[in-house]
Structure 1
Amino acid sequence: MFSVHGQWQIDIIPPTVFVNLVGAFNSEGVAALVQEARKRWQDYQPSQLHCAVVNLSEFEMTTADSIAALKAYCKDMELRGYRQIDYIGIDALTRKFICELWADSDIKVQLYLDVAAYLSQHPSYRGVASWLD
C-alpha cells in the first residue's frame, strides 16, 4: 500500500463547501479526501449544502487510477443535491477534464482563472477560508 499524497483543507459555511487542494494526489490521497469530505457532510442535511468552491491553484496532478474515486465523489455531490460548483485556478488541461467530469450532470460549473477573479465576482466570500484572501 502506498502512502497518501496530496493535501487539502475543507471549510463548510452552509450552503457552501470550500475545498483547497494542494500538491499531487495519488489514489490513496483522493480516497482519504473523499472519506474526510463524506465524514464532514454527515453533520448536515443534504439540503443544507448545495454549492462548492474548489481551489485548484496549487493542485499539481492526480493519477489515472484515482479518477474512478473522483467520479464517485462527484456523483455523491450530485445525489446530495449540489447545484453549483466553482473551480478556481483552471488551466486548459484542467478545464477539459472538469468539463468531461460534469458533462452528464445538471450541476452548474463555473471556472475562474485565479482567486482574484473569483473574489471579484463573489466579494462576500473574502476570508471565509484561509486561502480566500
Structure 2
Amino acid sequence: MFEVHGSWEYSIEPPIIYIKVIGCFNREGVIAFANSVQADLSTLPANSIEYAVINLAEFELTTADSLAVATEYFHGVKARGYKRVTYIQPSIVAQSMLESVWLGSGMDVQFCMNAQRYLAQYPEHQYVKNWL
C-alpha cells in the first residue's frame, strides 16, 4: 500500500457539495477521498445531495490504477441521488479522462471553463464564489 497522493477540500451545502481537488491522485488518494466524503454524507438524510460542483483548477490528474476506483465511485453517485456533476476549469486532458470515466453512467456531467461561466449558468449558486 502506498501513501495517499492528492488532496481535497469540500463543503456540503445541501443540495450541493462543493469540492476542490488538488494535485495528482493515486489509487489510495481516490479511496481516501471517497471514504471521507461518504463518511460526512452518511450523516445527512438520504438523497440530500443532488449536485456536485468540482473545482479542477489545481488538479493534476490520476494514476492509471486509480481510474477503476474513480469509475466505481462516480457511477455510484447517481444511485445516491445526484442529478448533475459540474466540473469547473478542467484541463483538456482532465476533461477527456472524466468524459471516459462517466461514460455509460447516465449522469448529467457538465464542464465550465471558469467560475464566471458557471455562475452565469447557475446564478442561484452564489455560494460557489466562497469556494473557488
Question: What are the equivalent positions in structure 2 for 1:22-61 lying under 5 Å apart?
Answer: 22-61=22-61
**Which deviations, in whole Å up to 9, do the C-alpha atoms of 1:14-53 show, x marking residues without a partner?**
1111110011111111111011011011012232111111
**What 5-or-longer segments of structure 2 have no aligned partner?**
none
TM, length-normalised to structure 1 = 0.89
Could you tell me how far 1:129 is from its partner in structure 2? Answer: 6.6
Q: RMSD over aligned Cα, in angstroms? A: 1.6
Q: SS where residue 47 of structure 2 aligns?
A: helix
Could you tell me which amino acid in structure 1 is paired with residue 51 of structure 2? C
2:102 is equivalent to residue 111 of structure 1: no
Native 8 Å contact 2:21 2:58 kept in 1: yes
Which sits farther off after the overlay, 118-127 or 98-107?
118-127
Q: Which residue of 2 is the match for residue 96 of structure 1?
A: 96
Matches of 1:13 and 1:131 in 2, distance apart?
Answer: 11
**Contact in 2 for aligned 1:83/1:106 (Cα 8 Å):** no
Does the 8 A contact of 2:75 with 2:102 survive in 1?
no
Q: Would the alpha carbon gap of residues 4 and 40 (structure 1) be closer, same or farther in structure 2, given more than 3 Å must change?
A: same
Asked if structure 2 preserves the Cα contact closer than 8 Å seen for 1:55 and 1:87, the reply is yes
- Offset, 1:130: 3.8
Structure 1 unaligned runs (5+)?
A: none
Contact 2:18–2:131 under 8 Å retained in 1: no
8 Å CA contact 2:88–2:118 kept in 1: the answer is: yes
Name the counterpart of 2:123: 123
TM superposition outliers: structure 1 runs of 4+ over 6 Å: none
SS of alignment partner, residue 46 of structure 1: coil
CA distance in structure 2 between the aligned counterparts of 1:95 and 1:111, rounded to whole angstroms? 8
Aligned sequence identity (%): 35
CA contact (8 A) 1:18 1:129 kept: no
